[in-house]
Amino acid sequence: MRILLVEDEEGLSNALVEIFKKNKIGVDAVLNGTDGLKYAESGSYDAVLLDIMLPGMDGISVLKKLREEKNNVPVLLLTAKDEVSDKVTGLDAGADDYLTKPFSTNELLARVRALTRRKGDIKDTSITFGDLTLSKKNCELQTQTGKAIKLSLKEFQILELLFENPHQILTKEKLIEKIWGNDSNAEYNNVEVYLSFIRKKFENLNATVRIRTARGIGYSLEDETR
């Protein structure tokens, strides 16, 4: 595994590099967004850890540029901001996950493992439910008419679980366990944020498929035509 760390706080960057090396994870570190984009464009990394506030080119701009170039490398945003709007902006720009500073070493490593594990698991197969098809090869959600919309890695992971277990209620605990891992500090809010984005994509595709909320329990995938 090799990751790219784009973090302008040199002390934090050096500390993170040592943590990754100690855990036998290959890492390249750069201190500004301009270099971060150049390195990420090489296609040499299994994941990118990207700070939002960067000199030269901010993290959101780097992320948008990568996605415009059809570069689907998993991106974990690192940010000192804890506002929901900042998280939403990052996810809208194509981030796969986010982590708010300060964070624990175990939390960081768990998020990185989750990102890279899913990247390696995706095969050239698809799952269909109702009028939607989940493409594992392209990480896309497609309609029967051929309309398609890109998914972030976490959106894809959640939908994969729902598509594989239609009509079954999946609890928030189960989603966190399967996607973020048992050693993660992810909270219910993480699940809710991604489900909100998925529902908006369903609406954009005019799909009959819906994610139904079982209040106080979890979520299930349903087809409104049935």
139's torsion region: left (phi>0), alpha (psi -120 to 50) or beta?
A: left
Q: What is the pLDDT of residue 84?
A: 66
Q: What is the pLDDT of residue 170?
A: 93
- Is residue 129 pLDDT above 80, yes or no? yes
Q: Encode pLDDT of 114-127 as tens digits.
A: 888 765 554 447 89
What is the mean pLDDT of the segment spanning 133-160? 88
Question: Of 209 and 136, which is predicted with more confidence?
Answer: 209
Q: What is the pLDDT of residue 12?
A: 94
Q: Encode pLDDT of 70-106 as tens digits.
A: 888 999 999 876 666 777 888 888 898 888 888 899 9
Question: Of 214 and 183, which is predicted with more confidence?
Answer: 214
Interatomic CA distance for residues 123 and 54, integer angstroms: 35
Q: What is the pLDDT of residue 18?
A: 94
pTM over 0.75: no
Interatomic CA distance for residues 215 and 94, integer angstroms: 29
Taking residue 161's Cβ as centre, other Cβ atoms within 10 Å add up to 17
Contact 13, 21 (CB under 8 A): no
Q: Encode pLDDT of 173-210 as tens digits.
A: 888 877 777 656 667 788 899 999 999 999 999 999 99
- Is residue 211 pLDDT above 60, yes or no? yes
Q: What is the pLDDT of residue 119?
A: 58
Q: What is the pLDDT of residue 55?
A: 94
- Provide the mean pLDDT of the chain: 87
